[in-house]
Structure 1
Amino acid sequence: MPHRPTPPSSPHRLHTDEADEHSAFMAQQDPLDAAAADWLVRRQDGLTPEEERQFQLWLAADDRHAQAFQQFERLWQRLPTTSALPPAPVKQKVAQSRWRFGETLNAWLPQLSAAAIAFAMVSGGWWGWEQWRDTPTFTESYATVRGQQKKIRLPDGSQLWLDTTTRAEVTYYRDRREVKLPEGQAQFAVQPDPDHPFTVLAGAVRVTVVGTRFSVRNTRSGLHEGDVGVVVEQGHVRVATSSKAPASAHQSSMADLTAGQSLVANAMNGLGPVQQEGTVQAALWREGRVNFDNTPLAVALAEFARYSDVRLLVRDPQVAALRISGSFDLRRLDAFERALPQVLPVRLHNADGVTEIVASRI
């Protein structure tokens, strides 16, 4: 009986269910053709001494094995694209060989024998299967304008709550769920599904969960400007960053957060320290409120500007740098304006329809 080949090596580590799907595909091919084609592609990638020994044993086990292998080797040499590709690292050779068979199959189909077609199927099978696995089963983009918040229910029962001026791009695949958050802030209530991990990509940060509730902020103004903030309200998430900054004793490229914990990260400095944020603090923005904790006045005004027009002007850098603390209603800029002279050494100067925050005169 012909030897059944093992699945070709892949640059990606597979889950058990993924390997089973590919094995089912390979099982549909002619065993002898599949084995010969598989050995040819694997030898291009480079065999270990043990794999070379297994290959020689396979050749010696049956004369038909050597004949099939030589037939595919001759076909490989005749294909016009085998020399068209530039030299590639060893890890890329298998993927490229399968790719070029998929590209040239249609043009060569009239000239190929049944065995050659089987070779093309086997060689291109992994690539085609990977493409099938990476084809979205659901994709949608959502957005809010300034001052708007929106709740969204996704097909699997997970929920998004988008803050003001937020964009979210949701894509579900056969083996995973993915959301890109290029701008804004959102809360995620994820439906548990161990077979389909849920990932949020925001700037240089990657947040992966199975089922939990958490918020991610990726804004270009206001609090944490240019940074990505993650706050967990329930469950557990893993946060990783693509930062290339060297890790130190107080910094790493990966962190696990549980309920009530948070961190801030950016591409330059990686992950910041884990903080005990508290679930009440995490829910403030959904209630239309914000807490300032020793926050520069200019940053506080920028945070209000994310939700509505701010007709308050600060020209003096020293005034802009004044620090403010307190809890405020993001929909009541007028209340914040009235409070400023009570908590900071400033006064409001009105001229030509513009209100400027200036330093108080002693």
Structure 2
Amino acid sequence: MSTAPHAMTPSSPPTEEALRLRQEVLDWFVRRQRTQWGASDERAFQAWLGADARHGEAFREWESRWRAFDAISPETVAGWRNGFEGRAATAPTRRGFLKPAFVLAASGMAVGAGYLGWRHVQAQPVFEQAFATRRGQQLEAPLPDGSRLRLDTATRLEVRLFRDRREVTLVDGQAVFSVQADAKRPFDVLAGPLRVRVVGTRFAVRHTPGMPGADGTRVSVEEGKVRVTRRTTDATSEVFLTAGRQVESDAHGVFSAVSAVAREGIAPWRDHRLSFVDTPLARALAELERYGSTGLVVNDPAVAALRLSGTFDPRDARTLRLALASALPVRLKEAGTVAEIVPAH
């Protein structure tokens, strides 16, 4: 006998402790699917289970819902879909009918988190979650397929896993993707005008549409290879990138030439480093401001156009102030908590 989906009633937001436990459960679940799982990993897992009775209960619930979803027959899915459509047609004002029957809460580490939902229609995602980081924050998050995401500061993205493909939309910011190989389910990253497709690799994508001078998209490959294409239906151009190569596009998806990039230059922000090579000072400051307040402003167009080269820790505003006076013909004009960068003479 099949079970029909049911409407869900709203519930209170989960506590910080509950969100943390769900993140731990998801992390352990993903790790146990990997082929390199060993005896030491299993001992650590068992120790985690034994540390708190709630750990085992939460993990067993996750496994049970995962098995239940995989066991759903196509016929049942079709029946549910018809039922959903019928209810929507007869009661369009009753919100909540189309919510999934199985709902698992989102990771507590995701700021402004979306939700993690198992849906019963094959045409819809089987996993869906939104992630966002605050200014100055970074986040590493596992996915159920074994892939991992590393979000930089002020980054927003949306993950959707389907039965036949995996898809991430990078709304704003930059992230590194460590993709679990699965030939039957390609992994796409949609970033502005570009689509990046892989099967299994590690690469970084940047898309900052609101940043002057850096409103295009950049793709850099650390391991494996990717195919980068324009998302417009009439576009035919595509670029294949291998490890140590990168490509950028403007806001309309027009590619620059493919260039080499050192491994440490793929995503230096992972180590709290920002490197600039002959970069206009105004643009360098705007990049640093993504991570936190520098306490610096530049109003003189000639000063803003000065070219800056160097590597900086965005968390260390004091060193930045000292370095600017050494690297450029400028001085700092203090005005309360803010200093204006002005010509040295």
- TM-score, normalised relative to structure 1: 0.60
RMSD: 2.6
Q: Which residue of 2 aligns with 1:144?
A: 133
Which amino acid counterpart does residue 182 of structure 2 have in structure 1? Answer: D
Verify: 1:318 aligned to 2:302, yes or no.
yes
What displacement does 1:329 show?
Answer: 1.1
- Equivalent of residue 149 in structure 2, options 157, 160, 171: 160
Output the CA distance in 1 between the equivalents of 2:286 and 2:126: 39
**Share of identical aligned residues, percent?**
46
Q: Which structure has the larger Rg over C-alpha atoms? A: 1
Describe the shift of the 1:224–1:245 C-alpha distance in structure 2 as closer, same or farther (beyond 3 A): farther
Could you tell me whether the CA contact under 8 Å between 2:193 and 2:252 is conserved in 1? Answer: no
Output the CA distance in 1 between the equivalents of 2:212 and 2:182: 33
Within 5 Å, which residues of 2 pair with 1:102-121? none
- Equivalent of residue 173 in structure 2, options 184, 187, 195: 184
Which amino acid counterpart does residue 300 of structure 2 have in structure 1? Answer: D
* Matched pairs, number: 234
Output the CA distance in 2 between the equivalents of 1:234 and 1:150: 21
- Equivalent of residue 271 in structure 2, options 270, 273, 287: 287
Output the CA distance in 2 between the equivalents of 1:223 and 1:284: 21
Describe the shift of the 1:267–1:151 C-alpha distance in structure 2 as closer, same or farther (beyond 3 A): same
Output the CA distance in 2 between the equivalents of 1:132 and 1:271: 37
Which amino acid counterpart does residue 166 of structure 1 have in structure 2? Answer: T
Q: Which residue of 2 aligns with 1:204?
A: 193
CA offsets per residue over residues 38-66 of structure 1, 9 Å max, x none? xxxxxxxxxxxxxxxxxxxxxxxxxxxxx
Could you tell me whether the CA contact under 8 Å between 1:230 and 1:262 is conserved in 2? Answer: yes
- Equivalent of residue 255 in structure 1, options 225, 235, 239: 239
- Equivalent of residue 357 in structure 1, options 317, 320, 341: 341
Verify: 1:327 aligned to 2:308, yes or no.
no
5+ residue gaps in structure 2?
1-73, 75-84, 91-119
Describe the shift of the 1:224–1:157 C-alpha distance in structure 2 as closer, same or farther (beyond 3 A): farther
Could you tell me whether the CA contact under 8 Å between 2:217 and 2:251 is conserved in 1? Answer: no
Output the CA distance in 2 between the equivalents of 1:134 and 1:277: 39
CA offsets per residue over residues 268-314 of structure 1, 9 Å max, x none? 35111111012111131100101100000001100110000121111
CA offsets per residue over residues 81-101 of structure 1, 9 Å max, x none? xxxxxxxxxxxxxxxxxxxxx
What displacement does 1:245 show?
Answer: 10
Could you tell me whether the CA contact under 8 Å between 2:209 and 2:251 is conserved in 1? Answer: no
Describe the shift of the 1:151–1:177 C-alpha distance in structure 2 as closer, same or farther (beyond 3 A): same
Q: Which residue of 2 aligns with 1:305?
A: 289
Q: Which residue of 1 aligns with 2:111?
A: none
CA offsets per residue over residues 65-115 of structure 1, 9 Å max, x none? xxxxxxxxxxxxxxxxxxxxxxxxxxxxxxxxxxxxx99xx99xxxxxxxx
Q: Which residue of 1 aligns with 2:203?
A: 214
Which amino acid counterpart does residue 292 of structure 1 have in structure 2? Answer: F
Which amino acid counterpart does residue 358 of structure 1 have in structure 2? Answer: V
What displacement does 1:134 show?
Answer: 2.0
Output the CA distance in 1 between the equivalents of 2:148 and 2:239: 24
What displacement does 1:243 show?
Answer: 5.7
Output the CA distance in 2 between the equivalents of 1:269 and 1:169: 21
- Equivalent of residue 296 in structure 1, options 280, 287, 312: 280
SS at match of 1:174: coil
Q: Which residue of 2 aligns with 1:233?
A: 222
SS at match of 1:325: strand
Could you tell me whether the CA contact under 8 Å between 1:193 and 1:210 is conserved in 2? Answer: yes
What displacement does 1:254 show?
Answer: 0.7
5+ residue gaps in structure 1?
1-24, 26-101, 108-130, 247-251
Output the CA distance in 2 between the equivalents of 1:146 and 1:300: 16
Could you tell me whether the CA contact under 8 Å between 1:231 and 1:277 is conserved in 2? Answer: yes
- TM-score, normalised relative to structure 2: 0.63
Which of the pair is proportionally richer in helix? 1
SS at match of 1:301: helix
What displacement does 1:334 show?
Answer: 1.5
Verify: 1:340 aligned to 2:329, yes or no.
no
